[in-house]
Structure 1
């Protein structure tokens, strides 16, 4: 998934982990798939895994990470890992026959987590301190908690959910079908010299109204970001590929990559693995890691009520429901503004202090 990288991002050291023989939940068998990842901090420090969000990159971060934040490389070994389908790790846009382009198989959250577990083992990590993620990264954090309940002490799920709600599914149908309507898409078998660019632009525009809340728009917060009016904001951020505060770049993204991620998102449900086989309540009760669940009160993707329900289904003492009260909608969890970032840092620091008291 092409991105406009800064000189600083270009200079970052990025690693490639070859997965070797790797079986997907759908039954497909792969031999040459890989994960791209980046690490900061001391490998001897407690390890925090930070999966990417939809359209995110390992060269940036959505969840606040850095020396000025609670998740700091001064105390933790932080591993940024790219999702399958995100254009960095194995994706339709960079995979060889027989899984190239439109032939790319469906990817589940369980596939993402199984691959990441292999990476952690390769890095010699016997147990993670935490899995922290925003949006689809939060979905992966929930999946980690269910799939490998003894492998981490904490999960932090920011503006994400343990399953895709019916409303969330319907929202995604809009951008998806805007892309599919481009005649150049050809069922995913388009050529490099005839890309479905109207489709990817349509995807971005269909997506544009959902990232921030109605109140954010009514209060003209896009003016505070330096845009002269709403049309300038739409043209530069969504048409121009600047994306959101999470670093997403839809208009220059590969169409098949976008559809791969959308399909993973729409089918997300932590209970879609054995032994739960769809029993969501049983899957949530399987979580043993302390869970910090932080939806935003105005998020249009992952409703705040879903996070409250998810925590209520966990065993007593496991989950903490701490909503971000903000008009910044979904982007409240992605370092979009100082107030919400401070709220995240305080909540994460409070959570991690529990481990320090026990040490």
Structure 2
């Protein structure tokens, strides 16, 4: 189970009932929901911040706070949990017929359609920004393609608009470590025989990819307060992803592996056309040492957008994928400055 700090436990979180909601796979639901929390004045420009893989609405990977460019003193920020992320409707908290291993496949389009319904319920006519890290960035790209007129800006940090072949293969490792647990039983495990070896195996297979090889070689984990690498692995990975419900992990993995912004009726898989359809000013910020989402892919994405739409601004860092998640002050400062520059340049042109 995910552990929260006392401050996080005290946060006000809300539940949005989706009512009748049809998924891209054709499944129809009636009792699904999104969990979300907000900070700032509802009258301020609204920024949507979807969670990442393993993320929570009680935290923020993207830098949000009074000390950051995205400040609740200027913006109304909505943190929303993904389907499958253990907070919003997920295999672990859904009743029959979609409970556990029966949970249907979830697309990025499903995530965005549900979030749009939430925004409508909050009376938001147009978002100022959709900002996300990792799978949150994948959702931000999907927003830009699926609802191109609904936001002014998109900020995609260490994420991509489609799952690359290399990314797909990486995810096969942790996924199959989990499936190999004899307690998994096709997703129909019981509370008294959980696939705990499988979820730990998933986390350990995932752990080597979150930071760069240089980060590990320089033992940066020691500066984070861990006594050695085994202490770091046990606390961060075994105690993090390793405690997540197995079906939830697989639900998110499937969404990630099938992600492609062009897989909606308007484009029918035409990726280049989908990228040209983006209208929001889009800031693409991969990290140069990210092993999940390569920086070159971000550069290609921007090149496919219409002139003046995309800005490619890579984070040069040894912190790998985590460079975009407030992992260190240098990279967080770079993020804040890049976002401030994006907003200022748009105001100048206006």
Question: TM-score surpassing 0.5?
Answer: yes
Question: Partner residue of 2:341?
Answer: 350
Q: Distance in 2 between matches of 1:339 and 1:237?
A: 22
The answer to whether residue 6 in structure 2 is matched with residue 15 in structure 1 is no
Equivalent residue for 1:309, pick from 296, 300, 304: 300
Instruction: Give 5+ residue unaligned stretches, structure 2.
Output: none
Deviation at 1:356, TM superposition (A): 3.8
Q: Which SS does the other structure have where 1:119 is aligned? A: helix
Question: Partner residue of 1:245?
Answer: none
Question: Partner residue of 1:246?
Answer: none
Question: Partner residue of 1:270?
Answer: 261
Question: Partner residue of 1:256?
Answer: 247
Question: Partner residue of 1:141?
Answer: 140
Question: Partner residue of 2:214?
Answer: 215
Q: Distance in 2 between matches of 1:142 and 1:161?
A: 7
Deviation at 1:354, TM superposition (A): 3.2
Deviation at 1:357, TM superposition (A): 3.8
Residues 48-59 of structure 1 aligned to structure 2 (within 5 Å): 48-59=47-58
Q: TM (normalized to structure 1)?
A: 0.96
Q: Which SS does the other structure have where 2:155 is aligned? A: strand
Question: Partner residue of 2:96?
Answer: 97
Instruction: Give 5+ residue unaligned stretches, structure 1.
Output: 242-248
Q: Distance in 2 between matches of 1:77 and 1:122?
A: 15
Deviation at 1:170, TM superposition (A): 0.3
Question: Partner residue of 2:151?
Answer: 152
**Cα offsets for 1:150-172 (capped at 9, x unmatched):** 00000000000000000000000
The answer to whether residue 319 in structure 2 is matched with residue 320 in structure 1 is no
Q: Which SS does the other structure have where 1:26 is aligned? A: coil
Deviation at 1:358, TM superposition (A): 5.9
Deviation at 1:355, TM superposition (A): 4.2
Q: Distance in 1 between matches of 2:36 and 2:234?
A: 31
Q: Distance in 1 between matches of 2:307 and 2:257?
A: 29
Residues 1-359 of structure 1 aligned to structure 2 (within 5 Å): 2-239=1-238, 241=239, 249-357=240-348
Question: Larger deviation: 59-68 or 222-231?
Answer: 222-231
Q: Distance in 1 between matches of 2:345 and 2:10?
A: 36
Deviation at 1:60, TM superposition (A): 0.3
Q: Distance in 1 between matches of 2:8 and 2:291?
A: 30
Q: Which SS does the other structure have where 1:251 is aligned? A: helix
Q: Distance in 1 between matches of 2:226 and 2:9?
A: 27
Q: TM (normalized to structure 2)?
A: 0.99
**Cα offsets for 1:173-200 (capped at 9, x unmatched):** 0000000000000000000111100000
**Cα offsets for 1:45-75 (capped at 9, x unmatched):** 0000000000100000000110000110000
Question: Larger deviation: 148-157 or 220-229?
Answer: 220-229
Q: Distance in 1 between matches of 2:233 and 2:35?
A: 31
Deviation at 1:133, TM superposition (A): 0.1
Q: Distance in 1 between matches of 2:144 and 2:84?
A: 22
Q: Distance in 2 between matches of 1:231 and 1:32?
A: 42
Number of residue-to-residue matches in the alignment: 350
